[in-house]
Amino acid sequence: MMTGILAPTSGEIRVLGNDPFKDRLINNRKISTVFGQRCKLRWDVSPMESYYLIKDMYDINDKDFKNRISYFSEILGLSTFINNPVRTLSLGQKMKAELAGAFLYDPEIIFLDEPTIGLDVLTKDSILNFLNSIKGTTTILLTTHDFDDIEKLCDRVIILHEGRIIHDSPVNDISSIYNLEMLEVIFKDLPENIESKFDFKNYKFDIKKNMVKIDVSSINNKSELIKKIYETFNKDIDFVRVSKISFKDALKYFLNEQLSAKGKYVS
């Protein structure tokens, strides 16, 4: 709806002061979009030829066009495939080419829908680094289910549940609220009747597969707890570590607190 493709059934939306559906032509000159695994570039021609089309559509002057192509080629590594037909490119190459095209005319807002879905680790990192380098000059609205994308790229997170906003804050707020330390005890094989052998009920804990996670944020003498666990389970333990809770787990804690009143939980 913010891109003007659909009209809201009720209420209203404003993007840069415009109704994106009624003022679609005005809106489209100010925004850009990238949809994961949906290619907008011309299939049978090279990305470069599509960029020339974008140049003419958005009246980009020669100097800006040359500078932007040079910058995108360097940071996204476009030079090895920029003149090859789009249909011959890999998924990662297509996504890099799509992003360059989306930013080419310097939009005020860009909507990214799952831009890293299905990409290998190196390509994903390259794209996130690119977006981080450019986000200070363009507003980026990202929709994703990838927690790494949120943590590495976003300054602000909006959480939707059943069509309603249940949280809107800087990303760091969630991590700071749940600044927890977890003791992770990984067993070779999880001992039978493990809870009868050690009183985990004195702690906030979670057991999954062959691992026990214990919240040790408020425990001063963590080494004493680790010692007791080793004395109890000895040879059953593979290794033990203490780590800060991940952003993903912090978000799960938050969601479970928000949804628990409704009898719903995030696993």
The 10s digit of each residue's pLDDT in 179-225 is 778 899 999 998 888 888 888 777 888 888 899 988 888 888 889 99
Q: Write the DSSP symbol of residue 263.
A: T
Label the pairing between strands 205-208 and 211-215.
antiparallel
Tell me how far apart the alpha carbons of residues 189 and 210 are, in angstroms, rounded to a whole number: 6
CA distances from 14 to 23, 27, 107, 140, 215 (A): 10, 10, 16, 16, 44
Q: Where in the chain is the domain with CATH 3.40.50.300?
A: 24-154
pLDDT given for residue 150 in this prediction = 87
Q: What distance in Å separates the CA atoms of residue 256 and residue 254, rounded to the nearest whole number?
A: 6
For residue 92, give the amino acid letter.
G
The whole-angstrom separation of Cα 116 and Cα 15 is: 25
Q: Provide the 3-class DSSP secondary structure of residue 79.
A: helix
CATH ID of 24-154, from 2.60.120.260, 2.170.120.12, 3.40.50.300, 2.60.40.1220 = 3.40.50.300
* pLDDT for 49: 97
CB atoms closer than 10 angstroms to residue 146: 18
User: Which residues of the chain fall short of a pLDDT of 70?
Assistant: 260-267
How many other C-beta atoms are found inside a 10 Å radius of the C-beta of residue 100? 25
Q: In terms of Cα–Cα distance, which of 152, 212, 217 is closest to 179?
A: 217
**CATH 3.30.70 domain locations along the chain:** 180-244
E strand intervals along the chain = 31-35, 109-113, 139-143, 156-161, 164-170, 181-187, 205-208, 211-215, 237-244
Q: Which residues are registered as beta bridge partners of 184?
A: 213, 241
Count other Cβ atoms within 10 Å, centred on residue 131: 22
3-state secondary structure of 141: strand
Round to whole Å and give the CA distance between 191 and 212.
11
Give the class (CATH, top level) of 180-244: alpha beta
